[in-house]
Amino acid sequence: MKQRLADIVLEFIMFASVPIKDNHVTLPFPFSEEIISSALKVPIHHIQSILNFLEKEKIITREHEFEVIDYVRLGKLSNLNPETCRNNTFGEVDLQEAN
Protein backbone atom coordinates (compact mmCIF):
# COMPACT_ATOMS: atom_id res chain seq x y z
CA MET A 1 0.00 0.00 0.00
CA LYS A 2 2.91 2.39 0.72
CA GLN A 3 4.14 1.80 -2.83
CA ARG A 4 0.73 2.62 -4.31
CA LEU A 5 0.47 5.79 -2.23
CA ALA A 6 3.99 6.86 -3.25
CA ASP A 7 3.07 6.22 -6.89
CA ILE A 8 -0.05 8.39 -6.68
CA VAL A 9 1.78 11.28 -4.99
CA LEU A 10 4.53 11.16 -7.62
CA GLU A 11 1.94 11.03 -10.40
CA PHE A 12 0.20 14.13 -9.03
CA ILE A 13 3.58 15.90 -8.91
CA MET A 14 4.35 14.92 -12.50
CA PHE A 15 0.92 15.81 -13.88
CA ALA A 16 1.01 19.20 -12.17
CA SER A 17 4.60 19.81 -13.40
CA VAL A 18 5.60 20.90 -9.92
CA PRO A 19 9.29 21.85 -9.68
CA ILE A 20 11.47 19.78 -7.40
CA LYS A 21 14.02 21.92 -5.60
CA ASP A 22 16.56 20.64 -3.14
CA ASN A 23 14.72 17.31 -2.82
CA HIS A 24 11.55 19.19 -1.76
CA VAL A 25 8.14 19.60 -3.43
CA THR A 26 5.12 21.63 -2.35
CA LEU A 27 1.89 20.69 -4.07
CA PRO A 28 0.16 23.85 -5.33
CA PHE A 29 -3.35 22.54 -4.73
CA PRO A 30 -5.27 20.93 -1.88
CA PHE A 31 -4.19 17.31 -1.59
CA SER A 32 -6.13 15.49 1.06
CA GLU A 33 -6.53 12.02 2.47
CA GLU A 34 -9.90 11.89 0.74
CA ILE A 35 -8.33 12.49 -2.68
CA ILE A 36 -5.80 9.71 -2.14
CA SER A 37 -8.43 7.36 -0.73
CA SER A 38 -10.67 7.97 -3.72
CA ALA A 39 -7.84 7.55 -6.23
CA LEU A 40 -6.64 4.29 -4.67
CA LYS A 41 -10.11 3.02 -3.74
CA VAL A 42 -9.09 2.10 -0.20
CA PRO A 43 -10.56 3.09 3.18
CA ILE A 44 -9.39 6.44 4.47
CA HIS A 45 -8.05 4.96 7.73
CA HIS A 46 -5.44 3.02 5.69
CA ILE A 47 -4.37 6.25 3.98
CA GLN A 48 -4.17 8.07 7.32
CA SER A 49 -1.96 5.33 8.73
CA ILE A 50 0.46 5.45 5.79
CA LEU A 51 0.58 9.25 5.76
CA ASN A 52 1.34 9.23 9.49
CA PHE A 53 4.18 6.76 8.82
CA LEU A 54 5.56 8.99 6.03
CA GLU A 55 5.45 11.99 8.37
CA LYS A 56 7.27 10.11 11.13
CA GLU A 57 9.92 9.07 8.59
CA LYS A 58 10.24 12.75 7.55
CA ILE A 59 9.32 12.02 3.94
CA ILE A 60 6.26 14.29 3.89
CA THR A 61 4.68 16.97 6.04
CA ARG A 62 1.08 18.13 6.16
CA GLU A 63 1.42 21.01 8.63
CA HIS A 64 0.39 23.84 6.32
CA GLU A 65 0.30 22.26 2.88
CA PHE A 66 1.04 18.80 1.59
CA GLU A 67 4.80 18.83 1.08
CA VAL A 68 7.23 16.14 0.07
CA ILE A 69 10.33 16.93 2.11
CA ASP A 70 12.39 13.95 0.93
CA TYR A 71 11.57 13.34 -2.72
CA VAL A 72 14.31 10.74 -3.19
CA ARG A 73 13.05 8.58 -0.31
CA LEU A 74 9.49 8.86 -1.60
CA GLY A 75 10.79 7.70 -4.98
CA LYS A 76 12.38 4.67 -3.35
CA LEU A 77 8.95 3.60 -2.11
CA SER A 78 7.46 4.00 -5.57
CA ASN A 79 7.26 1.46 -8.36
CA LEU A 80 7.38 4.08 -11.12
CA ASN A 81 10.19 3.95 -13.65
CA PRO A 82 12.00 7.29 -13.36
CA GLU A 83 13.00 7.23 -17.05
CA THR A 84 9.33 7.01 -18.05
CA CYS A 85 8.51 9.96 -15.83
CA ARG A 86 11.43 12.17 -16.81
CA ASN A 87 10.52 15.72 -17.76
CA ASN A 88 11.64 19.21 -16.85
CA THR A 89 10.21 19.03 -13.33
CA PHE A 90 12.95 16.59 -12.34
CA GLY A 91 15.83 18.88 -13.20
CA GLU A 92 17.35 19.14 -9.73
CA VAL A 93 16.84 15.59 -8.51
CA ASP A 94 19.01 12.62 -9.43
CA LEU A 95 16.33 10.12 -10.39
CA GLN A 96 18.79 7.23 -10.35
CA GLU A 97 19.04 7.72 -6.58
CA ALA A 98 15.27 7.42 -6.31
CA ASN A 99 15.15 3.77 -7.42
Secondary element (H or E) of residue 68: strand 67-68
Helices (H), 1-56: 2-15, 33-40, 44-56
Phi-psi region of 89 (alpha: psi -120 to 50; beta: other; left: phi over 0): alpha
> Which pLDDT value is given to residue 49?
96
C-alpha 89, offset from chain centre: 14
Interval 25-84: pLDDT, tens = 998 887 888 989 999 999 999 999 999 999 999 999 998 888 999 999 999 999 986 545
**Mean pLDDT in residue range 2-27:** 89
Task: Provide the β-strand partners of residue 21.
Answer: 24
CATH class of 2-98: mainly alpha
Given a cut of 70, is residue 99 above it in pLDDT? no
Given a cut of 50, is residue 86 above it in pLDDT? no
> Which pLDDT value is given to residue 27?
86
**Mean pLDDT in residue range 1-6:** 92
CA atoms within 13 A on the CB side of 37: 11
Domain ranges within the chain, ordered by starting residue: 2-98
> Which pLDDT value is given to residue 52?
96
